[in-house]
């Protein structure tokens, strides 16, 4: 059941100024938030992304009633851990490339729309995913996505956005090889060939809705595998889901559960909200309704 408490009117603003639009929009965000009635206790433009968690941790320790994080999905995922179990509301300004978590929450991708959602929105308690005890907000992946995320030149991502990602993805796909995936729910184990595996808390990955039935508050994690050994099937899957074709789920298999064990042959790196942070084998689970976020006042109660 959703809380009826209002969204706090005081907050700490933390913007990843290294993200695609963060440096350009930091000062605009400051002035527009305050004009919208949100008093900023402090505001930080972070030039070194590695310091984001420390700044977030200090803001929570200092008792900030709300922390607004501006950046991409990686920025959100590396800061969300410090909100779990604390009486603090998490709000976001989508300043990255794909902004998948914001899309799942129904938050407008433009700065004015996102600020309006914070100033006039509502609280919503949502799940987080966990991989080997590390929380993540939206999605993780194995296969082609981590290869892209680990090697894509920053300038290509910064100036060309999603188009730059697609160009780099085509280049990476030439070198990529399929792998065997095993999923174990503690009762049954299934092994299949796969070209990509996505682990969903939210519905979007890479800015595309790939898991349309994933919910943010249903207490389950979703593992979606693009099956087979053909890279053309992977390309088809992205194409079909991007255009929402009727057969968009024809080449995937999904596993749902509260706790799932995954393994691969050969071992695979796991990209968590765009950052390569883990490897197989791994335990994937859900932290049910772990944090409170701000969503638009008219956002749906689930999804």
Look at the chain and report how many structural domains it folds into: 2
Q: Same structural domain for residues 35 and 113?
A: yes
Provide the pLDDT for residue 206. 83
The residue count for the chain: 303
The answer to whether residues 209 and 100 belong to one domain is: no
The DSSP call for residue 52 is H
- The confidence band for 86, taking pLDDT boundaries of 50, 70 and 90, is very high
**Portion of the chain with pLDDT greater than 90, in percent:** 73
More confidently predicted of 23 and 52: 52
- What pLDDT was estimated at residue 244? 94
What average pLDDT is seen over the chain?
A: 91
Q: Are 271 and 142 in contact (CB under 8 A)?
A: yes
pLDDT of 179 over the 70 cut: yes
User: Model confidence over 131-147: pLDDT tens digits?
Assistant: 999 999 999 999 976 77
Greater confidence, 26 or 206?
A: 26
Q: Tell me, what's the pLDDT at 43?
A: 97
Please choose, from the candidates 228, 74, 235, 232, the residue with its C-alpha nearest in 3D space to the C-alpha of residue 152: 74
Confidence of residue 161 (pLDDT cuts 50, 70, 90): low
Asked if the structure places residue 1 within a domain, the reply is no
Q: Please state the rounded mean pLDDT for residues 247-276.
A: 94
User: d(Cα 132, Cα 63) in Å, to the nearest integer?
Assistant: 28
List the CATH number of the domain containing 144: 2.60.200.40
pTM: 0.90
For residue 298, is it within any domain?
no
Note the pLDDT of residue 20: 60
* Same-domain pairing of 86 and 114: yes
Do residues 25 and 89 share a domain?
yes
Pick the last residue of a domain from 120, 144, 171.
Answer: 120
Residue 1 has pLDDT above 70, yes or no: no
Residue 277 lies in a domain: yes
The answer, yes or no, to whether residue 300 has pLDDT greater than 80, is no
CA separation (Å) from 209 to 52, 100, 131, 212? 27, 8, 21, 6
pLDDT at 165 (0 to 100): 66
pLDDT of 303 above 50: no
More confidently predicted of 24 and 232: 232
| pLDDT (mean) for 85-111 | 94
- Pair (148, 97) in one structural domain: no
Q: So what's the pLDDT on residue 160?
A: 63
Phi, psi of 177 (to 5 degrees): -125, 140
- Please indicate, yes or no, whether residues 272 and 201 belong to a single structural domain of this protein: yes
Residues 78-100 have a mean pLDDT of 93
Of 120, 150, 184, which residue constitutes the final position of a domain?
A: 120
Average of per-residue pLDDT across 140-169: 73
What is the extent of the structural domain holding 39? Answer: 10-120
In this predicted structure, the answer to whether residue 98 has a pLDDT above a threshold of 90 is no
| Confidence tier at 159 by pLDDT (50, 70, 90) | low
User: What pLDDT does 123 receive?
Assistant: 97
Whole-Å CA distances, 130 to 20, 53, 67, 140, 201 = 26, 17, 21, 10, 9
In the numeric block, which tokens belong to residue 64?
A: 């900030």
CATH number of the CATH domain containing 50: 3.40.50.10330
Residue 37 falls within a domain, yes or no?
yes
pLDDT value, residue 234: 87
185, pLDDT greater than 60? yes
When pLDDT is averaged across residues 226-234 and rounded to a whole number, the result is 91
* Distance separating alpha carbons of residues 235 and 172, to the nearest angstrom: 12
Residues 50, 80: one domain? yes
Three-state SS string across 198-264, please?
EEECCCEECCEECCCCCCCCCCCEEEEEEECCCHHHHHHHHHHHHCCCCCCCCCEEEEEECEEEEEE
Taking residue 210's Cβ as centre, other Cβ atoms within 10 Å add up to 27
Whether residues 142 and 281 share a domain: the answer is yes
CA 85 from chain centre, in angstroms, equals 20
Q: What is the average per-residue pLDDT within 97-118?
A: 95
């Amino acid at each position: 059941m959703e809380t009826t408490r209002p969204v706090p009117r005081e907050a700490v603003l933390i913007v990843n100024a290294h993200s695609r639009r963060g440096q350009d929009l930091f000062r605009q965000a400051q002035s527009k938030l305050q004009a919208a009635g949100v008093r900023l206790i402090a505001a930080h433009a972070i030039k070194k992304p590695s310091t984001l968690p420390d700044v977030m941790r200090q803001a929570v320790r200092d008792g900030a009633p709300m922390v607004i994080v501006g950046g991409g999905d990686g920025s959100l995922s590396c800061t969300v851990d410090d909100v779990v179990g604390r009486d603090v509301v998490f709000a976001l300004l989508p300043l990255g490339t794909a902004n998948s978590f914001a899309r799942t929450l129904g938050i407008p991708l433009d700065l004015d729309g996102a600020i309006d959602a914070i100033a006039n929105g509502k609280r919503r308690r949502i799940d987080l995913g966990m991989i080997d005890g590390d929380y993540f907000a939206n999605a993780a992946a194995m296969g082609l996505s981590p290869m892209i995320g680990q090697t894509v030149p920053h300038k290509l991502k910064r100036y060309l956005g999603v188009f730059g990602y697609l160009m780099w993805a085509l280049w990476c796909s030439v070198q990529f090889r399929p792998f065997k995936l095993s999923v174990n729910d503690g009762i049954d184990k299934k092994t299949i060939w796969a070209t990509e595996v996505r682990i969903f808390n939210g519905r979007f990955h890479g800015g595309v809705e790939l898991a349309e039935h994933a919910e943010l508050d249903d207490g389950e994690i979703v593992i979606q595998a693009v099956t087979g050994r053909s890279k053309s099937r992977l390309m088809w899957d992205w194409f079909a889901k991007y255009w929402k074709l009727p057969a968009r789920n024809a080449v995937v298999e999904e596993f749902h559960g509260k706790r799932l064990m995954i393994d691969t042959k050969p071992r695979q790196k796991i990209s968590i909200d765009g950052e390569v942070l883990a490897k197989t084998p791994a335990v994937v689970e859900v932290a049910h309704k772990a944090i409170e976020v701000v969503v638009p006042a008219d956002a749906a109660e689930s999804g």
